[in-house]
Structure 1
């Protein structure tokens, strides 16, 4: 893994509701919580996650919290410098987030012959029937992470960006 030291990797997540293709939303929370931005999700919902990695490094595992997400390679993606995958994530086991609280969801990506990527995503879970609050804020098109492989064989996130 040390031979990858200094290499950069970009992971781009696109997350939409599986049932109707509606994108998820986020809001700026400032300094009130651990992260400045909160992603709004609904409990008992199924989300479609499209994940793109640049450079084109095969992804072996995507894990959100303790759940492995089954991925399929998207074959029609036409960027020779990237690979894209799709999978579904069900939020049935997540509790409703209390008022003035946030949940940190651990994102883990295992890539072939690369160090493991790990980051935290700050979320708030609303009831499935609470579309008013879950869809208030700004639409999240993509969640991007830029990372670099260190000399000790880990990937350090240099930038998290919501587009």
Structure 2
């Protein structure tokens, strides 16, 4: 078994403002919901500890063009932009499942489901209410017998 710790973070672009989340309890599939605005651009940062080669990434079906921002013997950070152009605001009392897929060389495919609420671009007040999301840390393991990565734990910081 190979254990590693990816962290995923989101920032609004071009401002660099934070993204917020809220606790939904047991009403939906996941206890926390990340808030995004439609017709907006976001930066996704992917940190891998220990450093690994990230071959491909996609979020909600959009291929992410990765740029390595940092790398040393402890970690590496890749960044990409994601936009919500063309996505519709979530209906009241509904959530969207958006999947982040990471193909990691010699490790396998990591698929993380995120629970999102999409707000109209004019609803900035709703998007900025809640807890500031610094990142989602995961504990993962991969096995030579499988091409898929198992997420053991997710921690919202």
Match for residue 133 of structure 2 among 137, 140, 147 = 140
Say whether 1:17 aligns with 2:12. Answer: yes
Normalised by the length of structure 2, the TM-score is 0.95
Match for residue 115 of structure 1 among 102, 108, 116 = 108
CA distance in 2 between counterparts of 1:78 and 1:125 reads 33
Shift of 1:150: 3.6
CA distance in 1 between counterparts of 2:144 and 2:45 reads 30
SS of equivalent to 1:116: strand
Q: Which residue of 1 aligns with 2:156?
A: 162
Tell me, which stretches of 5 or more residues in structure 2 are unaligned?
A: none
Match for residue 60 of structure 1 among 44, 55, 60 = 55
Q: Which residue of 1 aligns with 2:83?
A: 90
Alignment of 1:59-78 (within 5 A): 59-74=54-69, 77=70
The answer to which structure has the higher strand fraction is 2
Displaced runs of 4+ in structure 1, greater than 2 A?
A: none
Say whether 1:128 aligns with 2:121. Answer: yes
RMSD across aligned positions (CA): 1.2
Q: Which residue of 2 aligns with 1:102?
A: 95
- How many residues are paired up? 156
Q: Which moved more, 1:150-159 or 1:9-18?
A: 150-159
Distance verdict in 2 for CA 1:97–1:155, change over 3 Å: same
